Amino acid sequence: MSNNQEIDLRDIFLTIKELKDEILINKFRVLIFIFLCISASVFLISIQDSKFKAELSFVVEDTQKSPSLSSMSGLASTFGFDMFGSSNSTFSQKNIMELLKTRGVVSKALLQSAIVSGKDDLFIHHYISIYDLNSDWDKNLKRLSFNNDLDLMHDSIMTMVWVRIIEDELSVEIRNDKTDIIYLSFICSNEKFAKLFSESLITEMSRMYVLYQTKQSTNTIDFLQNRADSVFLVLETAEEEYARVKDINQRIIKASGRLKELQLMRNVEVLNTMYLELVKNIEMSKLTLLNKTPIIQVIDKPILPLEDTKISVLLISIISFFLALFISVFYIIIRKLVNDSLK
């Protein structure tokens, strides 16, 4: 090893020793700074409200073609009904996740009632009370109730609450790409509200999803039922008229005299055939509706007590300790190096 290298190493060790001595000299300042940082962190955590996390998992079960009904599929197709066709893909998995965050679903969930803190009221009223959102509202707004007819003011408040929920409190995700399980998480400072509102969200989303998926089949059943009722009324009238004419023609032997009776009989037979076909189509449409009705299967519901997401005092103390130690030591080293360079 050359002399220059020995000098360089000696300078490095001397510098390290001087820095260590400087740290030891200021050790009480370091300890005081660490104590102040830990105290401030613990105080800030202690004054914060608890954040309870309600987590709910569910899966959307696709309807599959039933083997026992496969023989009916061909029969139904002759009447123009696709009983076991491919399901509508408008609500894909990602769309369902976004549907949970839409204003329509969240608003309908907020307008449902539940018992929270011993009070039976709408979720929107509970939410405003929990976060004290109306503390700076005027007297008229504080008396505003969502039980009445909704107007623009109600709509504005609902939009404000919806934005708060989807931005800071609600998350929907798929944690494993190999499964179709969707996880919904909702965070609130009131754990009973968090549990009940997350369940209400799933209920409203399921209702909207099922309504959309079965809309066409439901319209078909309604149309066929109305048509069947109309034909049945005409059939009853025709049967009564046929019976009346037949009673009149009991003693008439000639076919020319019984012509009207024959015409009415033919009319009754046609109407009866129409009515039977309509009833048969209604029953097949009901099978179609049953097959196309999706199932939102909830796997795990939130169970009280919920997880408190607020960071623990021990963890924040450890983080504050190491962070304060690093900052104080770093500051002492930089100050020492700067002072030495200035000298």
- Same domain, yes or no: 203 and 270: no
Residues in the chain: 343
Torsion of CA 186, 189, 193, 195, to 10 degrees: 40
Domain with 256 in it: 217-292
- Does one domain contain both 56 and 171? yes
CATH of the domain at 206: 3.30.1890
Helices assigned H by DSSP within 87-169:
93-99, 103-110, 123-130, 139-142, 152-164
Question: Helix or strand or coil: residue 48?
Answer: coil
- So what's the pLDDT on residue 298? 85
What pLDDT, in 10s, does the model give residues 161-189?
999 999 989 998 888 877 788 899 999 98
Query: Which stretch of 48-57, 98-107, 120-129 has the lowest confidence by average pLDDT?
Result: 48-57
Alpha helices in 143-214 (DSSP H): 152-164, 191-213
Output the CA torsion sign for 225, 230, 236, 239. Answer: negative
The mean-pLDDT minimum among 9-18, 83-92, 292-301, 330-339 falls in: 83-92
pLDDT at 6 over 60: no
| Residues 132 and 77 placed together within one structural domain of the fold | yes
Give the CA distances from residue 20 to residues 169, 234, 324, 343, in Å, rounded to whole numbers and listed in that order: 47, 105, 17, 19
- The residue with greater pLDDT, 343 or 46, is 46
Judge if 58 and 206 occupy the same domain: yes
Nearest-CA neighbor of 133 among 102, 163, 178, 112? 163
Task: Give the three-class secondary structure for 328.
Answer: helix
Tokens of 82: 């696709």
Confidence of residue 200 (pLDDT cuts 50, 70, 90): very high
- The amino acid sitting at 126 is H
User: Is 164 in the same domain as 285?
Assistant: no
**Cα–Cα distance for residue pair 99/211, rounded to 1 Å:** 13
User: Is the model's pLDDT at 146 over the cut of 70?
Assistant: yes
When pLDDT is averaged across residues 317-330 and rounded to a whole number, the result is 88
pLDDT at 110 exceeding the cut of 90: yes
Q: How confident is the model at residue 70 (pLDDT cuts 50, 70, 90)?
A: very low
Q: Which residue did the predictor score with more confidence, 202 or 117?
A: 202
pLDDT tens-digit readout, 208-261: 888 877 787 888 888 889 999 998 998 888 888 888 888 877 766 566 667 787
Does 169 share its domain with 113? yes
CA gap 201, 301 in Å, rounded: 12
The answer on 88 and 191 residing in a single domain is yes
Least confident of 6-15, 75-84, 267-276: 75-84
Full 3-state SS string of 68-82: HHHHHHHHHHCCCCC
pLDDT tens, position by position, 274-286: 989 988 988 888 8
Which pLDDT score, from 0 to 100, does residue 195 have? 92
Q: For residue 219, which amino acid is it?
A: N
In terms of DSSP bridges, do strands 113-116 and 295-300 run parallel, antiparallel, or are they unpaired? unpaired
Q: Residue 152 carries which side chain, given as an amino acid letter?
A: L
> Do 154 and 64 have their domain in common?
yes
Task: Give the mean pLDDT of the chain.
Answer: 80
Q: Where does the pLDDT of residue 8 fall: very low under 50, low under 70, confident under 90, or very high at 90 and above?
A: low
For 113, list phi and psi in degrees, rounded to 5. Answer: -105, 155
What percent of the chain has a predicted confidence (pLDDT) above 70? 86
Residues 42 and 89 in one domain: no
Residues 96 and 188 in one domain: yes
Percent of all residues in the chain with a pLDDT value above 90, rounded to a whole number: 16
| Count of other CB atoms within 10 angstroms of residue 105 | 23
Cis amide prior to 305 (ω within 30 degrees): yes
Q: What confidence score (pLDDT) does residue 42 get?
A: 82
User: 31 and 115 share a domain?
Assistant: no
- Predicted confidence at residue 91, as pLDDT, reads 52
Number of domains the chain is built from:
3
More confident residue, 100 or 77: 100
pLDDT of residue 72: 45
The pLDDT value recorded for residue 168 is 87
Q: How many whole angstroms separate alpha carbon 145 and alpha carbon 125? A: 8
pLDDT grade for 113, boundaries at 50, 70 and 90 = very high
Alpha-carbon torsion (187, 190, 196, 201), positive or negative: negative
Residues 125 and 153 in one domain: yes
- Do residues 172 and 182 make contact, with C-beta atoms less than 8 angstroms apart? yes
Residue with tokens 């709910």: 56
pLDDT at 297: 82
pLDDT at 108 over 50: yes
